[in-house]
Chain A
Amino acid sequence: MTEKLFLIDAMAMIYRAYFAMISSPLINSKGKNTSAVYGFVNSLIKILEEQSPDHIAVCFDTASPTFRHIEFPAYKAQRQEIPTDMPWQIDKVKEIVKAFNIPMIELPGYEADDIIGTLVKQAEKGNVLSYMVTPDKDYMQLISDKVFMFKPAKTQYGTDNEIIDKEGVLKKFGVTPDKVIEVLGLMGDASDNIPGIKGVGEKTATSLIQEFGSIENMYKNIDKITKPKLKENILSQKKEALLSYMLVQIKTDVPLNINFHNLNKRPEDAELLSSLFEELEFKTLTRKFAKDGAGGDTSSAPKSNMRPGANAELYENIKVDVKDKPRIIKTIADVKHEYIIIKNVKEFDNLIKLLNKEDIICFDTETDALDAMNTNLVGMSFCFEEFKAYYVPVSGNLFDRKAKKGIKEKSLFDNAEQIAANENSTKGIDISIAVEKVKPLLENKKIKFVGQNLKYDYLVMRNYGIEMSNLFFDTLIGAYILRPEGAHDMDSLSEKFLGYRPISIKELIGKGKEQITMDKVDIDKAGEYAAEDADVTLQLFYKLKYDLGKADMRKLCDDIEFPLIKVLSEMEFAGFKVDEKILASINKQTEKFIKEYEAKIYAAAGEEFNINSTQQLAHILFNKLNLTPLRKTKTGFSTDVKVLEELKYQHEIAALLVDYRMLTKLKSTYLDGLKMQSIRGQEEFIRYSIRWRRRQADFQASIRICRIFRSELKPVGVSEKRSSLGINLILLCQRIIHRSNSALWRIMQMMTI
């Protein structure tokens, strides 16, 4: 039987794992990056389990200079210093390989490539297939009928090991393996600082070698090269080409005194491995090698059917770049669940009784608009145990928001047919009864409420006169604290943390022009969606609570972030008044400024044109005024702010355009935006909402005006007699835009009221 020899280029694999996860590295509870060890170990285990090699060794580079450094001192000299969180990971890998009882080879003065080259050439003579485990294309020169390159899948979820044989080399390089060094010699290798010939990339190098067969032969027939520039480069850089040729050549005659037949894995020290993995916080691996885990190769059954949430502590904090992750994502069809729709008041009473006994409840509202201050409640969902949730649809509008807005919309009665068809199902509990019954529950200080973006639900209920007391845990904010980068909407969090894809809102209400509001959705469908939301949020809560605790971030959440939800909600609920006269005055001045800038820009251009048309502007800048274009877009040359900022040094028009853009933005975004809102709502109150900025631990205020409900149920919060708080718009805009936007700042300084 043919034997299999696996030789692993350790450093190449460690670096690859490190950079594969660089955008979202695996960080353990001590804040240490463990990506490289994790990636390496998983590849190693996969090879052991799936490839069952007869012989195996892990080869390392050493710090001593090799013949390449001696011949060419600049070899690899451009390389950045080794990342500081790397050396200890390399040491860990060595410890782990040792515990696996796999032979390790390193030899001062030689790189792993040379060791591997020597061994595969030795093995080639026997009845052995050799696999060089590495992502490095230089190895292709060694490939033959019996020698292959083996590129493991980049992440643990990938299954696509890549094995490159002779045909593969031909496909990749356009030449056979023995010609690979000829091509590499011509093109050089930027990552190793091997020069090659200037101006010769992979394509040119390949076609030259295809034509001439070798570098040597190319120089003999130099006159056959017709392109003058190329010929000149080749002639002037003969020295570089020959040097590069020598440097890229992998040695196959390293004095090793090792016979590959002796490269055998012996039984691993499972106990040592388990403790090493425990220290690194690789939980699955720790268990895998733990004493009672049967040890060794067969106990690797993935615990994929583990339920999230309750068992969260068993979960490993695995972070892999999402795009590399062909993970199996479950949906509602794959999970056993019980979602109950409350059809009448009696059922609701029973549910309230049940809920009152609970300590922690996940709560979620369904509404017919996104603006919490201007929406109608359509339903409420509750969940206190995983995979079981309740949906309480409500009917009737206390505020009749749409009628007041004067916007013609289909009313509920337009759907009479639909309602008739659904007579058996409920229309929902009358809104005033629902509010009355749910109020004591939500205001009960002893019950801890959990939700996703609780500020929204708080404000919705606040508009019905309910002040939720104990906002205990917000999964949106918790996830943001744990991992500020990436999306934090519930669907994304669910996929990321639970491996579960919830029903999408688009499936329910459609999108674009065809979109309907939540109150028009069939109650059974809405119920499944809404109950699932509460269920998923509760599961997220358990998972995030555990992760935050492990990362030592619970205090930050419990002491600052979660109490702040109510504070911010109450601020948003209060709103503030805007002085419309000032708003109008600023608007007028801004318009005047815009006109002035237009005139100046026309003068600088020498003609009138549509400044807002990027095509006309590009024509003026790059054809008429002959400025140097800096970047291209699909349709022509870019005229964005960054480009204009740089063009400032070429022509005065660019500076004028930068200011002009700022002014038009100020007008459209802030002034017109505010004015429009203020006309739509009769009362002159600005409401503003505070969003969690993605990357900074800071708030960003965005302003909008909404009208205020008038209703018997309206809480006393907003007094009609409140003293007028004239907000100075300039001040507000200045503060919000901040000084980072210096051009706009300058303009605003010039304004007077």
Chain B
Amino acid sequence: MAHYANDDNMINAFKRNHDIHTETSMRIFGLKSKTEVTPGMRRKAKEVNFGIIYGIGAFGLANRLEIKNSEAKEIIERYFREYPNVRTYMEETKKFAHENGYVETLLGRRRYLSQINNQNAAARAEDERAAINMPIQGTAADMIKIAMNNIYIEFVKNKLESKMLLQVHDELVFEVKKTELEKVKKFVIDKMKNAIKLSVNIEVEVGVGESWYEAH
């Protein structure tokens, strides 16, 4: 979202290595310092950050956070005040979809939206939500695919016995031989970070353990 919207406040948060949910929390609740952010506030901010990407409205947000509609509406308004380019991105994406009948990712993967110009408001709204969401989610999917391809090449090139086992959303699971661990860790992080060049840095966390659960 930060890359697509090219929003200074958002990009700077990433550049300064701030936790984006804490940052959003401070902005939408009008706090001055990180220490004032409670876990509950951060959770709410996280719902807002993701909710916006999914094209959620005040009603949907109110439902998720179990707060009043009016309160949710206010939170969303403040969000857009703090991240003005996000709204611009959303409007421009919708406009593009209306004119072209599709949206696409950074790499040109398309999704056609057959209902985007429907006279029926509900059908249209659903495609508008999809229009906002798809470029972001789709680019994320492109990123993990590119990372997987590049990681696989490394496994083959280095003739390693370790293996890539699972891909779950933004997470990859490996089975790694102890002697190969450091090497694998290094190139996995590198390939995941640099799958697609964006205007913000991609953070990669690594966990190691005897089972997937332990690795978390």
> Once bound together, how far apart are the Cα atoms of A695 and B115, in whole Å?
14
Q: Is B59 an interface residue (CB 8 A)?
A: no
Residue among B64, B152, B166, B169 with the highest chain A CB neighbour number at 10 A: B166
Can you list 29 A-B pairs with a CB-CB distance of less than 8 A?
A22-B118, A25-B114, A27-B102, A31-B101, A83-B117, A85-B98, A85-B117, A553-B108, A555-B107, A556-B107, A556-B108, A560-B142, A560-B146, A561-B145, A564-B149, A571-B164, A576-B165, A576-B173, A695-B111, A697-B105, A697-B138, A697-B141, A697-B142, A723-B210, A725-B212, A731-B213, A735-B168, A738-B169, A753-B213
Chain A residues closer than 8 Å to B213, beta-carbon distance: 726-728, 730-731, 753
Q: Whole-angstrom distance between the alpha carbons of A563 and B175 in the complex?
A: 21
A484 touches B110 (CB 8 A): yes
Contact B165 A25 (CB under 8 A): no
Chain B proximity of A739: nearest CB distance (Å):
9
Given contacts A24-B112, A553-B109, 19 further A-B contacts (CB under 8 A): A25-B101, A25-B112, A25-B114, A32-B100, A84-B98, A84-B99, A483-B112, A485-B112, A559-B146, A567-B164, A576-B165, A576-B166, A579-B211, A696-B134, A697-B137, A723-B175, A724-B210, A724-B211, A742-B64
User: Is A23 a contact of B114 with CB atoms below 8 Å?
Assistant: yes
Query: What is the interface of chain B, defined by CB distance below 8 A to chain A?
Result: 64, 95, 98-102, 105, 107-112, 114, 117-119, 134, 137-138, 141-142, 145-146, 148-149, 152, 161, 163-169, 171, 173, 175, 210-213, 216
Rank and list the top 8 A-B pairs by shortest CB-CB distance, nearest first.
Answer: A728-B213, A726-B211, A83-B117, A697-B138, A735-B168, A567-B152, A697-B141, A84-B98
CB neighbours (8 Å) of A735 from chain B are: 168-169, 171
- Shortest A469–chain B CB gap in Å is 11
Asked if residues A699 and B167 are in contact (CB atoms below 8 Å), the reply is: yes
Residues of B within 8 A of A83 (CB): 98, 117
Q: How far is the CA of A551 from the CA of B95 in the complex (A)?
A: 21
The contact string, 1 if C-beta is below 8 Å from chain B, for chain A 354-380, is 000000000000000000000000000
Known contacts A31-B102, A85-B99, A699-B141; A567 and B134 CB within 8 A of each other: no
Q: Is the CB of A697 within 8 A of B111?
A: yes
Say yes or no: B109 contacts A697, CB within 8 Å: yes
Q: How far is the CB of A46 from chain B (nearest CB, A)?
A: 26
B137→A571 contact, CB < 8 A: no
The binding surface of chain B is classed by DSSP as mixed
Please, which residue of chain A has its CB at the minimum distance from the CB of B118? Answer: A22
Q: Which partner residue on chain B sits nearest A483 by CB separation? A: B112
Q: Which parts of A675-702 form the interface with B (CB within 8 Å)?
A: 688, 690, 695-699, 701
Inter-subunit contact B137/A725 (CB<8 Å): no
Q: B109 touching A84 by the CB < 8 A rule?
A: no
Q: Of B95, B134, B145, B161, which is in contact with the most chain A CB atoms at under 10 Å from its CB?
A: B145
| Complex interface bits, A554-581 against B, C-beta within 8 A gives 1, otherwise 0 | 0110011101101100110011100100
Residues of chain A within 8 A (CB-CB) of B102 are: 27, 31
A80 at the interface (CB under 8 A from B): yes
* CA distance in complex: A699, B137 (Å): 11
On chain B, the residues within 8 Å of A404 by CB distance are none
B68 to chain A, nearest CB (A): 15
Residues of B contacting A564 with CB < 8 Å? 145, 148-149
CB distance from A744 to the nearest CB of B (A): 15
CB proximity of A365 to chain B, nearest CB, Å = 23
The answer to whether B107 and A560 have CB atoms under 8 Å apart is yes
B119 contacts A80, CB within 8 Å?
yes
Query: Whole-angstrom distance between the alpha carbons of A481 and B98 in the complex?
Result: 21
C-alpha gap A268/B176 in the complex (Å):
72
Specify the chain A residue showing the minimal Cβ separation from B140: A698
The smallest beta-carbon distance between B190 and chain A, in angstroms, is 17
